Amino acid sequence: MIKKHIGNRLVGDMPKIGIRPIVDGRRGGIRESLEEVTMNMARAVAELLSSQLRHSNGLPVECVVADTCIGGVAEAAQTAAKFEREGVGVSISVTPSWCYPLETIDTHPTMPKAIWGFNGTERPGAVYLAAANSAHNQKGLPTFSIYGRDVQDMGDTTIPADVEEKLLRFAKAALAVATMKGKSYLSLGSVSMGIAGCIADEPFFQRYLGMRNEYVDMSEFVRRIERGIYDAEEFERALAWAKANCQPGQDVNSPHLKRSDEQKERDWETVVKMALIARDLMVGNPKLAEMGYGEEALGRNAIAAGFQGQRQWTDHFPTGDFMEAILSSSFDWNGIREPYILSTENDTLNAVTMLFGHLLTDAAQIFADVRTYWSPEAVKRVTGKQLEGRAAGGVIHLINSGPAALDGTGCMTKNGEPAMKPFWEIEEHEVEACLKATKWCPAVDFFRGGGFSTDFLTKGGMPVTMARINLIHGLGPVLQLAEGYTVDLPEDIHDALDKRTDPTWPTTWFVPNLTGTGAFRDVYSVMATWGSNHCALSYGHIGADLITLAAMLRIPVSMHNVSADRIFRPSLWSAFGTSDPESADYRACAQLGPLYG
């Protein structure tokens, strides 16, 4: 039985959700008649969120309900003090009635906020909701407005489906914001091959994400390898696991460039040590303290990291592909556990995008080059065959040598269909299937130091979302995303197309959902509009969740194919225009500025 590792490997407690029951403070009959129904409303929300949500590390989400209903500023202050003591990072206010907005709203400057105003007619919470939204907006404190479509009776403790959807979407995105705050991004090396996304833009990390930047030169891997600064027992166990589970793939190098079996054996030892060292650099390892390396044992409290690799490392040492792929997966020699977010080429912006997707889905992510758009005409010319089904309008070839998580094979299932799942839902046979579907190929000729690349083909039929953060001069960060599906191509078509690039790398064939307009009028337009050479691929159609998260961080969304009825942003956004939400998003984010100033 493979062990599942649930727990927090970073410094700091997991953020909690604070529930604020708001009440009409007038005593002498009014407040007294509302106390119980208001507190029951708060408890119902707490029960919903704690039962439906987990943190990405598998720990349960905890909700903290205010000690009393909040009828005025004193009780608001008492609740704020309790939330600070309890480590609350997300605020949700609820009320079934009219209350005094300025005296009861949450005025924390950076905490994500939502208000559910009960849609009832006896003492309409919607009136408070509107007034409280107005107060928040006037103070520059965006809040997400939740208002059920249908009128309910006073005392009804059920949460309507549309309200539940918004509560869950808000809470998951807000927890992502709170989880990132105070953590580190660790650059292992610097800029790879002149890729701008590798630049660690500290103002972006600090002002938008509340994170700090840490830097370690790649020579630290050499030092730790040569001096044995890693758990030797774990290394032997990890190496044995790799030899038993990592199937060798084809060696496509010319005969004079092929490495000997002895060299490949040494390469495996090196890449396994690299995986241990990268993990230790990110989150620390108490075993190192026992060995006399107390400083190294602490790690960098890194929630995400990136490895430069090319070219200074890969011209001389084995590639980081095994390290990146296995750490990014949901399992290794220690069992089933939360994926690490580790970006190839130290692409900091793709690492952040992967982090967003991971915190929203709890699952592993696929890092990929947005390599090629294959039109139906080009496929017909090259293969003599016609694309069919979802692929009939053309496909985008997503491929990269290293950090595509093995979960990306699609060998896990949900309801009998290919999937990528939170690690606590993964079964032992699914781990075995992912490993069986992956080959480890000797690195190609331009990786002069050797190493091994992951090679797999993602199963078709998975709903996925392709996303990317880009930094734009004079504008700042923008998010783009495309919901769509992975697709299967006939084997002969896949082979013909795949061999034109690098057949030793993992391939995902992706087709976006088209709207017929703008960037989504056809598959070519999606490829042509994409803002970078990289993307992150998340399981599920999570575009609406990404849009909600981006709004919390004040990052505008430049490109998406999410229907209007699924988009959930703070009520303040409507003040910047309602006929063109995309433009309003830009204006709202520009006016408010980064979440952390």
DSSP string, 210-264: --EEEEE-THHHHHHHHHT-S-HHHHHHHHHHHHHH-EE----S-GGGPPPHHHH
Check whether 447 has a pLDDT greater than 90. no
DSSP string, 394-463: -EEEEE-SS---GGGG--EEETTEEE---GGG--HHHHHHHHHT-EEEEPPTT-TT--EEEE-BPPTT-E
The pLDDT of residue 254: 87
For residue 205, name the pLDDT band (cuts at 50, 70, 90).
Answer: very high
Q: CA–CA separation, 270 vs 264, rounded Å?
A: 10
Average pLDDT over residues 331-338: 98
Catalytic, 345? Answer yes
Check whether 160 has a pLDDT greater than 80. yes
How far CA 226 is from CA of 179, 273, 299, in Å, comes to 35, 10, 19
Average pLDDT over residues 514-518: 96
The pLDDT of residue 503: 84
The pLDDT of residue 448: 85
For residue 345, say whether it is annotated as part of any ligand binding site: yes
The pLDDT of residue 443: 86
**What would the CATH number be for the domain defined by 184-592?**
3.20.14.10
The pLDDT of residue 444: 82
Provide the 8-state DSSP code for 208.
I
Check whether 194 has a pLDDT greater than 70. yes
Average pLDDT over residues 147-164: 90
Catalytic, 67? Answer no
Average pLDDT over residues 510-515: 98
Instruction: Say yes or no: domain 16-180 is CATH 3.40.50.1070.
Output: yes
Going by C-alpha positions, the residue among 167, 25, 27 that lies closest to residue 94 is: 167
Check whether 310 has a pLDDT greater than 80. yes
Check whether 355 has a pLDDT greater than 80. yes
For residue 534, say whether it is annotated as part of any ligand binding site: yes
Average pLDDT over residues 181-204: 95
Encoded tokens for 590: 């520009």
For residue 152, name the pLDDT band (cuts at 50, 70, 90).
Answer: confident
H-state helical runs in 124-207: 125-138, 161-180, 202-203
Per the CB < 8 A criterion, the answer to whether 541 and 558 are in contact is no
**Domains 16-180 and 184-592 agree in fold:** no
Partners of residue 21 on adjacent β-strands: 94
The pLDDT of residue 402: 67
Please pick, among 24, 106, 324, 345, the residue that the annotation labels catalytic.
345
Average pLDDT over residues 335-354: 97
For residue 257, name the pLDDT band (cuts at 50, 70, 90).
Answer: confident
Check whether 124 has a pLDDT greater than 90. no
Beta-carbon contacts of residue 425 (< 8 Å; ≥ 6 apart):
none
What proportion of the chain, given as a percentage, has pLDDT over 70? 99
> In this predicted model, what pLDDT tens digit does every residue of 451-486 receive, in sequence order?
899 999 999 999 999 999 999 999 999 999 999 999
Check whether 70 has a pLDDT greater than 70. yes
Average pLDDT over residues 42-59: 98
The pLDDT of residue 597: 93
Encoded tokens for 34: 């509302």
Radius of gyration over alpha carbons of the chain, in Å?
A: 25
Q: CA–CA separation, 439 vs 456, rounded Å?
A: 7
> In this predicted model, what pLDDT tens digit does every residue of 565-592 receive, in sequence order?
999 999 999 999 999 999 999 999 999 9
Per the CB < 8 A criterion, the answer to whether 21 and 39 are in contact is yes
Parse the chain into domains and list their residue ranges: 16-180, 184-592
Check whether 564 has a pLDDT greater than 80. yes
Average pLDDT over residues 241-254: 93
> In this predicted model, what pLDDT tens digit does every residue of 374-415 receive, in sequence order?
999 999 999 999 999 999 999 999 998 766 899 999 999 999
For residue 429, say whether it is annotated as part of any ligand binding site: no
Please pick, among 24, 267, 369, 483, the residue that the annotation labels catalytic.
369
**φ, ψ at 548 (rounded to 5°):** -60, -45
